[in-house]
Structure 1
Amino acid sequence: MFYFSTKNGLSKSMMFFVSIVILISCSMFNGLSNKAYAQTLWSKPIIKTDDPRIKVTVSQTGLTKGPITIKIDTTRYNNGHNVSNIDNELVFGSVFTYKVKENGFYSFPISAETSDYLHQADFWCSVEVMNIDNRAPVFMHPKTKVDSFSGYMFLSINAKDDLSIRRIKLPDGTYSNYKMDWGTGELLETVQVKKNGKYTFVAEDFAGNNKSYTVTVKNYKKTPLSVKKVTHESTYITGKTLPYAIVTANVGDSRLGYFKADKKGNFKIKLKTKRKAGSSLNVNALDRNLKYVGNTVKVRVN
């Protein structure tokens, strides 16, 4: 962690940590869970039949990516000697099935084989399907950014789904449990970037659809930083970095000094007290333009 401190109060790195904790807490307690939200967007199939002797069932009543099989059992009507129109074809028998791949309203005529079924049905049954989600989530807006508080680089990406994101598998194999933004229907995920390379995310929805997306990071680079020798007699810490970079010297959470490098990248941090021989300190540098991640050099006092 880098410590680019404010003049008073908490260091900026600590402020960043507190901010992350607050954001996570708000996410945990703001509104319904992703699953509860998803359940507000779909409904169980609605089944109707003109005659109780005609039994209609569906293979899935919960959210599914499909297909769903509609089963019409007419065994109790006319001893099962019936006819129906399934997908524009006349089908004879007692049990009729039909596979549904999309949400919609599906109706079926049922008639006895001996009736005038070509002109008029004896009964009708119907199923309104509203629980199929066969569209996978989508990813969008991947971007990297160096945080001005911590000096770390973060990769953020949005995932969106029609019926809510269940979770996102992160590049390290763990799963996100953040909640969706109800206003946009999106879930924003952020991970720390520690090197150039490929970062793969997998978004899953509650119907079982999933989508993989790989971001290739090529812009990870540390702020150049060199520190000259520090002895127990030194009253300054000097070195070179990027022009106008922010440079701090720290021991643990305590800041020893702060300096803004000049136009040539030179810095000179004044020490209020001389350091003991054998002790160590950290010198941190962060690019003012946030094109580079923060860099730390551990210095041993001679």
Structure 2
Amino acid sequence: MKFVFAMIVFMVTISVGSHVSFANSYEPIIHAINPNTTITFSTKKLTNKPVKVTIDTSKYEGGDHYLYDSFSKKIIKSNKITVDISKNDQYNFLPVDKDMDEESVPNYGFWIMIEVRNIDMTKPKIKVLKPTLEFGTGKYRLNFGITDYESGIKSVTRQTSYNSSYPSKEAFMSMDDSMIINRNGRYKVTATDFAGNKAVKYITVTDYKKAPLKVNSFTSKSNYITGKSMKNTWISVYNLNTGYRIAKVKTDSNGKFKASIGKQKTNTKLYVWTWHIPEKYVSASKDITVKR
């Protein structure tokens, strides 16, 4: 083959506009290509596996040449090659005379330039944050943060079966999330990115504790309901038959409370609930049936 030294003249550029989908923004780019050359990729989607790139120059100038790979700095003795690429980068190939050696390859000519950018082999990161108690309800909220600065967070699954998925156009590189738990134990959080990488985090909770709540016995002849909980804590009493709250009182410095509820009919079901409890305690509740 008679190699023609010339500057690049055939250029194909794929630009990513503002309206393309998130996933498409990671597609490989062909920056430059020779006449009668075809380039194919095993996948253009985000992946956590190597991408096979096939470059076929067999119809370029009779095919009487080899291909020089500038990344490995090797001459591949073929005019049609398939290379496994495992790292996002720009890769350049040049048709060269068959009798040329690596040291003689020029810096100019009809270079084939491709940019692979759809490989992500890094798992998302899950960080446990400080748990919080919801104001008023005292529910224990287990908090965690998730980051994935490569291909973005696709979905998060919590052990409580509360799942959330985010479509590609709304991918998050960083987000805070949480789940409500009801006991001490081991909880599982799974985060998956758009390339298919999956991270699993097990979070052990040992500081879950409910506020103490004691309700003294009373009958349908009683006008008051009494008991004990945390000091300076609100106590709400609901009539479950009607769905209305019938009393709201605050415990004293010793945690005792006395709520006026009026006489309630036998078998009426009441719900007694701590509210605005001190920090580090989860709200407690009791279902009470009025006795004769």
- TM-score scaled to structure 2, two decimals? 0.81
Cα gap change, 1:298 to 1:122, in 2 (>3 Å): closer
- Superposed displacement of residue 260, structure 1: 0.9
Q: How many residues align?
A: 264
The question of 1:129 aligning with 2:116 is answered: yes
Match of 1:207? 195
Please give the secondary structure, in 2, of the residue aligned with 1:216: strand
- The separation in 2 between residues aligned to 1:231 and 1:170, in whole angstroms, is 44
8 Å CA contact 1:148, 1:290 repeated in 2: no
- Superposed displacement of residue 152, structure 1: 1.9
Please give the secondary structure, in 2, of the residue aligned with 1:123: coil
The question of 1:155 aligning with 2:134 is answered: no
Unpaired runs of 5+ residues, structure 2, are 1-19
**Cα-Cα RMSD:** 2.6
- Superposed displacement of residue 164, structure 1: 2.1
- The separation in 2 between residues aligned to 1:266 and 1:145, in whole angstroms, is 26
8 Å CA contact 1:107, 1:127 repeated in 2: yes
Unpaired runs of 5+ residues, structure 1, are 1-35
- Superposed displacement of residue 144, structure 1: 2.0
Q: Paired residue for 2:44, among 61, 68, 76?
A: 61
Offset from partner CA, 1:113-140 (integer Å, 9 cap, x none): 1568824375311101222222221112
- The separation in 2 between residues aligned to 1:205 and 1:56, in whole angstroms, is 28
8 Å CA contact 1:49, 1:125 repeated in 2: yes
8 Å CA contact 1:81, 1:93 repeated in 2: no
8 Å CA contact 2:186, 2:204 repeated in 1: yes
- The separation in 2 between residues aligned to 1:200 and 1:177, in whole angstroms, is 17
- The separation in 2 between residues aligned to 1:167 and 1:119, in whole angstroms, is 48
Offset from partner CA, 1:1-40 (integer Å, 9 cap, x none): xxxxxxxxxxxxxxxxxxxxxxxxxxxxxxxxxxx87447
Cα gap change, 1:110 to 1:141, in 2 (>3 Å): same
- The separation in 1 between residues aligned to 2:159 and 2:129, in whole angstroms, is 14
Match of 2:225? 237
Structure 1 range deviating more: 100-109 or 260-269: 100-109
Offset from partner CA, 1:23-80 (integer Å, 9 cap, x none): xxxxxxxxxxxxx87447x332121445212322222212222311221112213543
Match of 2:267? 278
Please give the secondary structure, in 2, of the residue aligned with 1:168: strand
8 Å CA contact 1:65, 1:132 repeated in 2: yes
Return the letter of the residue paired with 1:296.
Answer: S
Percent identity over paired residues: 27
1:281-292 map, 5 Å: 281-286=270-275, 288-292=277-281
> When you count helix as a share of all residues, which structure comes out higher?
1
